[in-house]
């Protein structure tokens, strides 16, 4: 009898030990802080699909598009209404840290959420419609030097956001003066911005290679430069860098997630490990290759400090080019 009781107790302990580790149950939600068609939407949908393929979620990952204020609506929603939701991930990127650096989320800062991890980086591009008169980056920059208001840019970030900054970084490196006079039109996502460029309503697109892929492949969009150290691999290898055209401009954009600050610590650990496993998978490597993402995955214990450092760096850059006083 005592042996049976001991075995029963051991079995109960084993069951409780296996149930202590948190796992998602029911619906998992990923908020993309923009309309469909942009980089945040790409992050949610592509990561959600791979999580499903790897059986790391109990069902589908639901993508919720929540556009507004350059990601501010989603950030405020997470902080104020979803503070302890263990099954919520929110797509983030350098665009997110840019808005935080410029204090564009009133009363909020990077410490109000938990930073989960990054799954690659997406380099910035400057592109024009296929029939544009600008055939290379220097021609476009020469036009800006002659008149900063002569070239209108469109992007998926808010005014002063990361897409806007990429155009200004390139213009500054090219020697363009009076950077605040360069027109920038903000749209809810990169897809909408590119449509305006292709339609001839705006001169140039500033965004990321992953969101431009479809328009590049269709022949509607011509990339003048990728803002990378070297040419991208594979099918993007024919796109010249800004550097090889004599303009020392870089614009990497990491892709990743944050989650509510009051989510359970075990839930955070689960999602951090899930992102680690996903990043190492062949399925995700295929996604990266198809969309021009480059390796970027700081260790979990370094990602939060990376985010804080990037916020500080972008704040300084924003002051230098007159976007922040």
User: Residue 248 — very low, low, confident or very high, per pLDDT cuts 50/70/90?
Assistant: very high
Strand ranges inside 174-215, DSSP E: 184-186, 204-208
The 10 Å CB-count burial string (b at 16+, else e) for 242-271 is bbebebebbbbbbbbbbbbeebeeebbebb
Helices (H) and strands (E) in the chain, counts: 11, 9
Q: What is the mean pLDDT of residues 76-98?
A: 96
Cβ–Cβ < 8 Å for 156, 193:
yes
User: Residue 300 — very low, low, confident or very high, per pLDDT cuts 50/70/90?
Assistant: confident
Residue 161 has a pLDDT of 87
Give the integer Cα–Cα distance in Å for 126 and 251. 10
Give the integer Cα–Cα distance in Å for 202 and 220. 14
Give the integer Cα–Cα distance in Å for 106 and 172. 28
User: Residue 17 — very low, low, confident or very high, per pLDDT cuts 50/70/90?
Assistant: very low
Cβ–Cβ < 8 Å for 275, 257:
yes
Give the integer Cα–Cα distance in Å for 149 and 178. 10
Residue 222, phi then psi, degrees to nearest 5: -120, 120
Number of residues that this document lists for the chain: 325
Q: What is the DSSP string of 122-181?
A: EEEEEEEETT-S--SHHHHHHHHHH-TTS--EEESSPTTSHHHHHHHHHHHHHT---GGG
Short-list 202, 198, 211, CA closest to 184: 202
pLDDT of 5 > 80? The answer is no
Q: What is the mean pLDDT of residues 239-257?
A: 95
Region for 251 from its dihedrals, namely left if φ exceeds 0, alpha if ψ lies in -120 to 50, beta otherwise = beta
**Tally of CB atoms within 10 A around 79:** 18
pLDDT of 115 > 70? The answer is yes
pLDDT of 106 > 90? The answer is yes
pTM, entire model:
0.78
Q: What is the mean pLDDT of residues 143-171?
A: 94
User: Residue 12 — very low, low, confident or very high, per pLDDT cuts 50/70/90?
Assistant: very low
| Per-residue tokens: 28 | 């998992």
pLDDT of 10 > 80? The answer is no
Between strands 113-129 and 221-226, the pairing is antiparallel
Helix 94-101 to helix 162-174 angle, to the nearest 10 degrees?
Answer: 80
What residues pair up with 207 in beta bridges, in sequence order? 125
């Amino acid at each position: 009898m005592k042996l049976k009781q001991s075995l029963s107790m051991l079995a109960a302990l084993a069951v409780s030990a296996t149930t202590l580790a948190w796992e998602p149950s029911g619906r998992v939600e990923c908020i993309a802080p923009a309309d469909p068609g942009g980089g945040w939407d790409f992050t949610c949908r592509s990561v959600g699909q791979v999580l499903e393929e790897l059986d790391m979620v109990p069902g589908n990952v639901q993508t919720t598009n929540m556009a507004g204020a350059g990601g501010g609506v989603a950030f405020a929603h997470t902080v104020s209404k979803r503070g302890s939701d263990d099954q919520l991930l929110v797509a983030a990127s350098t665009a997110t840290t840019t808005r935080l650096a410029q204090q564009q989320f009133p009363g909020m800062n990077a410490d109000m959420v938990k930073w989960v991890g990054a799954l690659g980086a997406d380099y910035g591009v400057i592109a024009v419609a296929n029939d544009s008169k600008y055939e290379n980056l220097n021609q476009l920059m020469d036009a800006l030097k002659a008149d900063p208001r002569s070239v209108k840019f469109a992007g998926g970030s808010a005014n002063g956001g990361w897409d806007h900054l990429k155009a200004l970084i390139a213009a500054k490196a090219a020697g363009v003066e009076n950077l605040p006079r360069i027109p920038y039109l903000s749209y809810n996502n990169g897809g909408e911005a590119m449509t305006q460029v292709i339609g001839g309503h705006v001169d140039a697109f500033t965004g990321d290679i992953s969101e431009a892929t479809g328009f590049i492949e269709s022949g509607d969009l011509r990339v003048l430069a990728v803002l990378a150290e070297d040419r991208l691999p594979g099918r993007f290898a024919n796109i010249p860098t800004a550097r090889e055209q004599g303009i020392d401009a870089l614009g990497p954009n990491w892709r990743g997630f944050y989650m509510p600050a009051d989510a359970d610590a075990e839930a955070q650990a689960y999602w951090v490990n899930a992102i680690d496993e996903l990043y190492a998978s062949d399925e995700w490597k295929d996604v990266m290759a198809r969309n021009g993402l480059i390796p970027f995955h700081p260790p979990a214990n370094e990602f939060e400090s990376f985010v804080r450092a990037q916020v500080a760096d972008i704040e300084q850059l924003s002051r230098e080019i007159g976007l922040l006083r």
